[in-house]
């Protein structure tokens, strides 16, 4: 349900409810007032008739004759609705107003209610001991109801006209009240998906401002993410196009070369370039997977993982005659995302192997230390230049002293994976080679 409809219904229903209770209240109080006034009139009329009889200004018959006709004192329409009976104390009807019922109106003195011919009556009786008569004046309750109904109807008719008018006004007002929201909606709908600029700063109601702020902050975050992605794509394209340019150049050289030696050299360069491009594509995929991987943690032995890494790096290790050793206790196990840790350690170890001199060693060691598992990869290479350390995990950043042409992604992947494992990646300095340390919470 739209906010507009919801607001409209709430306002319309509550307005209707207020009107209804006002009508009920007025009806109640009108009825009480009418009863009071009419009761007073009843007793007044009865007493007046009684005193008129005493003064002989009204003649009443006796028991034998027909009852005399009494003319009620005139006072507006209502008087005609009154009926009067005069009974002798013996129980004979000796006088009645025209239209009064023939049966006795009430059985006792004072106010009484009675049923006559199926109709409800309100009666006041007064006893005139001097003349030995009882005067009864009464009116039909239905007449009283009509009076109250007239008052209430007088109120209800204008309400029936006013309520729809009010509904229209409420509908328009709600619409106007929600106009800022609608403007926001229109502004958002009109945007192209690529438009992440902040919303126009103009005036806005207090309730809209937080929404605008939240949206703007979301937009700027999205913009940042998109820029990072765009930069990343541009970098990736550059990094892939460079080896492609090398491949094409070497292929042309191979075709144009006049001697076999030059051709063989160009073909070797092509192979090397294909290997490196392949590695870069694998690392780009690794990076994407590391950032999106949602595998649940599982428990595994670290030494098994290490053996697996060593197996996957056999080829580059053999090519440089690098010996990869695992120095990990067989009992050391971890409960974490196995894929992420594998990706991190594999890339660190691969970098270590590629940075190693011929015939050297790369050592993988791990131990537990006060709620942390420390894993170190140490090589005997030249190490990372101290000036490069702050940027070494940046994507596509290659150190200035790299003896090999890496993609600049290995340590970025490791860093991304370690962050997702809530661990830390550091580069402790020792006197020889380069050590990369991964610390993971247990």
Q: Which residues bind other proteins (CB under 8 A)?
A: 234, 237-250, 252-253, 256-257, 262, 265-266, 269, 272-273, 276, 398-400, 405
Which CA distances in Å does 55 have to 52, 58, 96, 131? 5, 8, 18, 10
Task: State which residue, 367 or 404, has the beta carbon closest to other proteins.
Answer: 404
Could you tell me the smallest distance in angstroms from the CB atom of residue 408 to other proteins? 9
Could you tell me the smallest distance in angstroms from the CB atom of residue 346 to other proteins? 24
Sign of CA dihedral 419, 421, 422, 424: negative
Could you tell me the smallest distance in angstroms from the CB atom of residue 378 to other proteins? 25
What are the residues facing 139 on neighbouring strands?
122
Task: State which residue, 57 or 255, has the beta carbon closest to other proteins.
Answer: 255
Could you tell me the smallest distance in angstroms from the CB atom of residue 330 to other proteins? 42
Could you tell me the smallest distance in angstroms from the CB atom of residue 317 to other proteins? 21
406 neighbors 341 (Cβ within 8 angstroms)? no
Could you tell me the smallest distance in angstroms from the CB atom of residue 404 to other proteins? 9
**Rounded distance between C-alpha atoms, residue 379 and residue 349, angstroms:** 9
**Rounded distance between C-alpha atoms, residue 125 and residue 114, angstroms:** 12
Task: State which residue, 143 or 257, has the beta carbon closest to other proteins.
Answer: 257
**Rounded distance between C-alpha atoms, residue 177 and residue 171, angstroms:** 10
Could you tell me the smallest distance in angstroms from the CB atom of residue 398 to other proteins? 6
Task: State which residue, 216 or 405, has the beta carbon closest to other proteins.
Answer: 405
Task: State which residue, 5 or 234, has the beta carbon closest to other proteins.
Answer: 234
Could you tell me the smallest distance in angstroms from the CB atom of residue 253 to other proteins? 5
Task: State which residue, 66 or 238, has the beta carbon closest to other proteins.
Answer: 238
Helix pair angle (260-292, 410-420), 10° resolution: 10
Task: State which residue, 26 or 254, has the beta carbon closest to other proteins.
Answer: 254
C-alpha of 191 from chain center: 23
367 neighbors 402 (Cβ within 8 angstroms)? no
Task: State which residue, 271 or 293, has the beta carbon closest to other proteins.
Answer: 271
Contacts of 88 by beta carbon, 8 Å cutoff, 6+ apart = 62, 63, 94, 132, 133, 134
Task: State which residue, 128 or 412, has the beta carbon closest to other proteins.
Answer: 412
Could you tell me the smallest distance in angstroms from the CB atom of residue 421 to other proteins? 30
**Rounded distance between C-alpha atoms, residue 337 and residue 421, angstroms:** 7
339 neighbors 397 (Cβ within 8 angstroms)? no
Task: State which residue, 163 or 249, has the beta carbon closest to other proteins.
Answer: 249
Could you tell me the smallest distance in angstroms from the CB atom of residue 264 to other proteins? 12
Give the pairing of strands 83-88 and 133-140: antiparallel
121 neighbors 38 (Cβ within 8 angstroms)? no
Give the pairing of strands 119-128 and 68-70: unpaired
Could you tell me the smallest distance in angstroms from the CB atom of residue 394 to other proteins? 12
54 neighbors 111 (Cβ within 8 angstroms)? no
Task: State which residue, 115 or 194, has the beta carbon closest to other proteins.
Answer: 194
What are the residues facing 86 on neighbouring strands?
95, 135
Three-state DSSP class for residue 297:
coil
**Rounded distance between C-alpha atoms, residue 178 and residue 173, angstroms:** 8
Contacts of 427 by beta carbon, 8 Å cutoff, 6+ apart = 384, 389, 392, 434, 435, 436, 437
**Rounded distance between C-alpha atoms, residue 88 and residue 68, angstroms:** 12
């Amino acid at each position: 349900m739209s906010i507009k409809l919801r607001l409209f219904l709430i306002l319309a229903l509550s307005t209707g409810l207020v009107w209804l209770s006002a009508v009920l209240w007025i009806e109640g109080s009108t009825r009480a007032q009418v009863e009071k006034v009419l009761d007073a009139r009843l007793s007044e009329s009865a007493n007046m008739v009684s005193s008129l009889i005493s003064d002989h200004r009204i003649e009443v018959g006796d028991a034998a004759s027909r009852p005399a006709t009494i003319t009620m004192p005139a006072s507006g329409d209502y008087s005609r609705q009154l009926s009067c009976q005069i009974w002798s104390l013996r129980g004979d009807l000796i006088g009645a107003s025209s239209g009064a019922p023939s049966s006795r109106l009430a059985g006792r003195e004072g106010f009484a209610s009675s049923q006559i011919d199926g109709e409800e009556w309100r009666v006041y009786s007064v006893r005139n001991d001097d003349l030995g008569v009882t005067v009864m004046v009464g009116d039909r309750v239905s007449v009283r109801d009509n009076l109250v109904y007239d008052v209430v109807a007088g109120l209800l008719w204008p309400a029936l006209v006013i309520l729809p008018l009010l509904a229209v006004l409420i509908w328009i007002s709600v619409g106007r009240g929600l106009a800022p929201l609608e403007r926001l909606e229109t502004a958002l709908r009109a945007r192209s998906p690529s438009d992440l600029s902040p919303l126009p700063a103009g005036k806005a109601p207090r309730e809209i401002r937080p929404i605008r702020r939240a949206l703007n902050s979301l937009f700027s975050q999205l913009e940042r993410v998109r820029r990072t992605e765009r930069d990343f794509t541009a970098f990736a394209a550059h990094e892939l196009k460079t080896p492609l340019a090398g491949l094409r150049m070497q292929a042309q050289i191979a075709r144009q070369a006049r001697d076999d030696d030059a051709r063989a050299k160009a073909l070797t360069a092509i192979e090397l370039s294909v290997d490196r491009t392949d590695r870069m594509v694998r690392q780009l995929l690794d990076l994407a997977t590391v950032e999106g991987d949602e595998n649940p943690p599982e428990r595994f032995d670290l030494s098994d993982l290490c053996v697996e890494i060593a197996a996957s790096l056999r080829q580059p290790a053999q090519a440089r005659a690098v010996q990869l050793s695992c120095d990990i206790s067989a009992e050391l196990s971890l409960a974490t995302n196995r894929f992420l840790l594998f990706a991190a350690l594999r890339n660190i170890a691969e970098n270590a192997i590629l940075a190693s001199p011929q015939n050297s060693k790369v050592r993988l060691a791990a131990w537990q230390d006060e709620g942390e598992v420390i894993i170190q990869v140490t090589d005997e290479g030249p190490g990372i230049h101290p000036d490069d350390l702050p940027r070494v995990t940046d994507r596509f950043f290659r150190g200035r002293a790299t003896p090999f042409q890496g993609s600049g992604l290995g340590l970025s992947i490791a860093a991304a994976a370690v962050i997702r494992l809530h661990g830390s990646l550091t580069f402790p300095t020792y006197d020889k080679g380069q050590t990369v340390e991964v610390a993971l919470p247990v």
